[in-house]
């Protein structure tokens, strides 16, 4: 099992797309084990996006991510990071394939609706920025055997 951080950005919140986007992850079989709506502080945004410091879009990104509430999710499942990235689609809505979150709901290259961790290392770092251990609530689901083929003894 992997856990990844997903942020529904200000444009997704303002456009009323939270439920439709969350449904995509749940429909795929991924499990939400943490969720909170919050206003990201400038300090937290700076820490979260430190890898982009010095890039031309950095200041605009910080202003965007701190302008209004976001919905932060911790999502778990087998291959959750890769699956989530595929569900999200290409970074720019204008280039994202139909059927992806960005492809179906976005056209902007600046407002791209959603953030998802890109590796297990960044997921671990990012989740620790937004959630305490007590805020993550993994739980057993009766449907696991119907989501993953476990006939070989481990989820596939």
DSSP characters over 68-83: S-EEEEEEEETTHHHH
pLDDT at 92: 92
Of 10, 106, 115, 116, catalytic: 115
Give the model confidence (pLDDT) of 117-129 as tens digits: 999 999 999 999 9
- Give the CATH H-level superfamily of domain 2-147: Nucleoside diphosphate kinase-like domain (3.30.70.141)
DSSP state of 54: T
What gap in Å lies between CA 2 and CA 82, rounded to an integer? 10
Domain ranges of the chain: 2-147
**Mean pLDDT on 75-88:** 98
pTM for this structure? 0.94
Longest dimension (CA), the chain: 50
Strand partners, 37: 71
Residue 99 in this model has a pLDDT that exceeds 80:
yes
Q: Confidence class of residue 152 from pLDDT cuts 50, 70 and 90? A: confident
**Mean pLDDT on 21-42:** 98
Closest to 61 measured CA to CA, from 46, 39, 41, 43: 46
pLDDT at 100: 98
Residue 40 in this model has a pLDDT that exceeds 90:
yes
Tokens of 92: 């720019």
* Catalytic-residue membership of 115: yes
Residue 54 in this model has a pLDDT that exceeds 90:
yes
Q: How many CB atoms lie within 10 A of CB 118?
A: 15
pLDDT at 110: 83
């Amino acid at each position: 099992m992997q856990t990844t951080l997903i942020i529904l950005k200000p444009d997704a919140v303002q456009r009323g797309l939270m439920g439709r986007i969350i449904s995509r992850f749940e429909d795929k079989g991924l499990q939400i084990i943490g969720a909170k709506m919050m206003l990201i502080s400038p300090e937290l945004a700076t820490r979260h996006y430190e890898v982009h410091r010095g890039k031309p879009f950095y200041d605009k990104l910080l202003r965007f991510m701190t302008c209004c509430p976001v919905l932060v999710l911790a999502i778990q499942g087998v291959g959750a990071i890769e699956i989530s990235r595929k569900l999200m689609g290409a970074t720019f809505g204008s280039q994202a394939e139909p059927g992806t979150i960005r492809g179906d709901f976005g056209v902007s290259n600046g407002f791209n609706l959603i953030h998802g961790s890109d590796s297990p290392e960044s997921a671990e770092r990012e989740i620790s920025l937004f959630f305490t251990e007590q805020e993550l609530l993994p739980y057993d689901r009766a449907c696991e055997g119907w989501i993953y083929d476990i006939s070989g003894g481990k989820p596939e």
